[in-house]
Amino acid sequence: MPAYDTNNPFARILRGEFPCHKVYEDEHVLAFLDIMPRCPGHTLVIPKAPARNILDITADDYAHVARGAHRIAAAAIKAFNADGITVQQFSEPAGGQVVFHLHMHVMPRHDGIALLPPASRKEDVKVLEDNTTRLVAALG
């Protein structure tokens, strides 16, 4: 497996070099909206620890990410009046991973509405700002 790249986009977000629509942060994880969402409220939860994917993260650091995804899922149900949640994590190109910093996708779902194809469109900044406000409010 290739080494962790400290210049991947999510590492750069963690360093403040790239902006994001932050929803939640603690000492272990950062959660922010996907700028090419597959549904409204599509959030990414990443560890602050440098980890390429599930294959090289420590169990403790992964547990923090899982807890963060759990917290975001509950807030997304409330914020988007969702009927369910899809949580996804991809590791390595053969597993569908595109950005090589571990991340979990948390997507609020509604009955009968399919997800958009991955990376199919960039969301309007105003929509992302509104969705951030909804999620932050739901987190309390």
Is 75 a member of any domain? yes
Is 119 a member of any domain? no
- Binned average pLDDT, 10 residues per bin, the chain of 140 residues: 95 98 98 98 98 97 98 98 98 97 98 96 98 98
Tell me the catalytic residues. 103
Is 67 a member of any domain? yes
Is 139 a member of any domain? no
| pLDDT of res. 1 | 82
What is residue 33's DSSP assignment?
Answer: E
As for how many domains the chain has, the answer is 1
Q: How far, CA to CA in Å, does 33 sit from each of 1, 78, 127, 129? A: 28, 16, 11, 9
Is 66 a member of any domain? yes
Identify the CATH number of the domain in which residue 47 sits.
3.30.428.10
Cα–Cα distance between 96 and 99 in angstroms, integer? 10
Is 126 a member of any domain? no
| pLDDT of res. 59 | 98
Q: Which domain holds residue 63?
A: 9-113
| pLDDT of res. 92 | 97
